[in-house]
Amino acid sequence: MRNHGLVSRDVVEQFGYVSRMDTLQAAILRFRLKRLPTIIEKRRRNAQTYRTLLDSDYVAFPSDKDKEFNTCHTFVIQIDFRDELREYLLSHDIPTAIHYPVPIHLQPAASWLGYGVGSFPRAELQAKRILSLPINQYLSQDQIGFIAETINQFFASEVGS
């Protein structure tokens, strides 16, 4: 229950909470919060580099809206050939993730609501197209450039065409 009700990385049996912090963790967090603005700044810079370098003909990515302040915990793109791109990136030692592969209305915890496949077609389509790219504050601009270049190469090749 304390981890969103997840029983595995991708399956929610029943809706839960996010209450994973104890007193020791709170003390450490209080110390680490001092670095948070710098961390967010680096992640936002990484996101902007992706936006500048990725080929928007093939990659849909989140915009940076004036009235929003994204901390860039994740950088999620939407693409065709998601699974093929994911394999291609892994073959170039670029890890990715899929947050979240199963839409919430199709989770076991939501079964009592009576929704099924086709109830929310946009959410279902997005679940098949989303891919989270590395965005952490430890990445250099050269590493972000390499990731973006590798993605663009994939789509320029026969694999993505």
Domain boundaries, the chain: 35-156
**What's this model's pTM, rounded to 2 decimal places?**
0.83
pLDDT tens digits along 46-78: 999 999 999 999 999 988 888 999 999 999 999
pLDDT tens digits along 78-134: 999 999 999 999 999 999 999 989 999 999 999 999 999 999 999 999 999 999 999
| CATH among 3.40.50.300, 3.90.1150.10, 3.90.420.10, 2.30.30.30 for 35-156 | 3.90.1150.10
For the chain, the DSSP string reads: -TBTTEEETTEESS---B----HHHHHHHHHHGGGHHHHHHHHHHHHHHHHHHS-TTT-B-----TT-----S-EEEE-SSHHHHHHHHHHTT---B-S-SS-GGGSGGGGGGT--TTSSHHHHHHHHHEEEEP--TT--HHHHHHHHHHHHHHHHSTTT-
